[in-house]
Amino acid sequence: MSRSFDWEAVQDALPLLLEGFRVTLLATVLGTLVAAVLGLAIAVAGRAPSRFVTVPVKAVMEFVRATPLLVQLVGAAALFTSVEPLTIGIVVLGVHYATYTSEVYRAGIDGVPKGQWEACRALSLPPRRTWQAVILPQAVRNVLPALGNYAISMFKETPFLAVITVQEMVFEARKYGADHFAYTEAFTLAGLVFLIASYPTSLLMRKLEKRLGH
């Protein structure tokens, strides 16, 4: 029982989807923030002088990275029923992506010339000052484009949050589709919104990467 594309349903669904899109954007921005900060912490912890720190950090990271985000989300939502779904979504997304961004930071930190570390030792700067004043400012500048790319891919994974009842765009699309039996219009529209939002951003990131000389 095929039916043709209904343009009225598109006009009808668009405001609802855009309402959900705000939640999608919020989750992406806050999730990226968590991933950016936590990823840096993991990368710095991974360089700790003691193996009692580095080995567990690396093991947990490999585990989180190799297991599905959806299971992590659903599991976290089932365990912490009293926490708001959006909060759970942001934290789980952030932690999941932090395991990826930490690798980016690690590569950035490795890229800082060895002489910089040696100079810090020669000046007998304490570790805190070494990181804060010398290493990180040089490392972070180089990793910004890669972090941006992870933000884009996180953006495209926010539909997972619909599963734990966060009312983001795909949640609204599924609801509209079920209520009006108009899945075609709702999902096509949602897909276009993703395309329109992510494609220019990834072009911008590519440009930024070129300018920073990668």
Partner 1 sequence: MNDFLSTLLDEFPQVRAGLWVTIEATVLGSLLALLLSFTFGLMAGSKLLLVRGVSRTVVEFFRGTSLYIQLFWLYYAMPQLTGYELTPLLCGVVAFGLNYGAYGSEIVRGAVNSVPRAQYEAAVALNMTPFHRMRKVILPQAWVQMIPSFTNLLIQLLKCTPLLWLISAADLMTAVEHVRSRTGETLTAYLLLLAVYFVLAYALTLLMNLLERSAKRRLGLHTGAGSLLRTRTAEAAATTGGAR
> Which residues of this protein are in contact with partner 1, per CB under 8 A?
1-5, 62-63, 66-72, 74-75, 78-79, 100, 103-104, 106-107, 110, 145-146, 149-150, 152-153, 156-157, 159-160, 163, 170, 173-174, 177, 181-184, 186-188, 190-192, 194-195, 198-199, 202, 209, 214
Q: Give the residue with the Cβ less far from partner 1, 132 or 202.
A: 202
Residue with tokens 């942001």: 90
Other beta carbons within 10 Å of 72 = 17
Q: How far is CA 32 from the centre of its chain?
A: 4
**Nearest distance, CB of residue 122 and partner 1, angstroms:** 28
Q: Which two tokens stand for residue 208?
A: 């930024």
Taking the least distance from each CB to partner 1, the nearer of 136 and 146 is 146
State how far the alpha carbon of 13 is from the alpha carbons of 7, 23, 187, 189, in Å.
10, 16, 10, 8
Contact 76, 92 (CB under 8 A): yes
Shortest spacing between CB 164 and partner 1, in angstroms? 12
Minimum distance between the CB of residue 42 and partner 1, rounded to whole angstroms? Answer: 13
The residue (of 5 and 117) whose beta carbon lies closer to partner 1 is 5
Q: Among 207, 88, 193, 73, which Cα is nearest to 148's?
A: 207
The backbone torsions φ and ψ at residue 82, rounded to the nearest 5 degrees and listed phi first, read -85, -15
Return the number of the residue (86 or 104) whose C-beta is nearest partner 1.
Answer: 104
Q: How far is the CB of 101 from partner 1 (least distance, A)?
A: 8
User: Distance of alpha carbon 31 from its chain centroid, rounded?
Assistant: 5
Residue 205 CB, nearest approach to partner 1 (Å)? 9
